[in-house]
Chains A and B, each alone.
Chain A
Amino acid sequence: MIDETRHQIVSYCCEYCAYAAADLAGGLRIQYPPEIKIVQLPCTGKLDVLMVLRDLEDGIDGVMVAG
Chain B
Amino acid sequence: VYMAGMAHYPKLLDESMIQAQAAAARAARVLNRKTLTAGGRVAVVNESLCTGCLTCVRVCPFGVPQIKAALTGVGNIMGAAYIEPAICQGCGSCAAECPARAIHLLHYTDAQMSAKVSALVDPSLSFIVSSEIATGETP
Residues of chain A touching chain B, judged by Cβ–Cβ distance below 8 Å, are 2-3, 6-8, 10, 37, 39, 41-43, 45-48, 50-51, 54-55, 58-61
Least CB distance from B113 to A in Å reads 6
- Assess the A45–B116 pair: CB atoms within 8 A: no
Can you show 22 pairs from A to B with CB atoms below 8 A apart?
Answer: A2-B129, A3-B125, A6-B125, A7-B126, A8-B126, A37-B117, A37-B120, A39-B113, A39-B117, A41-B92, A42-B41, A42-B90, A45-B92, A46-B93, A46-B95, A46-B105, A46-B108, A48-B110, A51-B110, A55-B117, A58-B117, A58-B127
- State the CA gap A43–B93 with chains docked (Å): 8
Within 8 A of A (CB), among B101-129: 105, 108, 110, 113-114, 116-118, 120-122, 125-129
Residues of chain B touching chain A, judged by Cβ–Cβ distance below 8 Å, are 41, 59, 61, 90-93, 95-97, 105, 108, 110, 113-114, 116-118, 120-122, 125-130
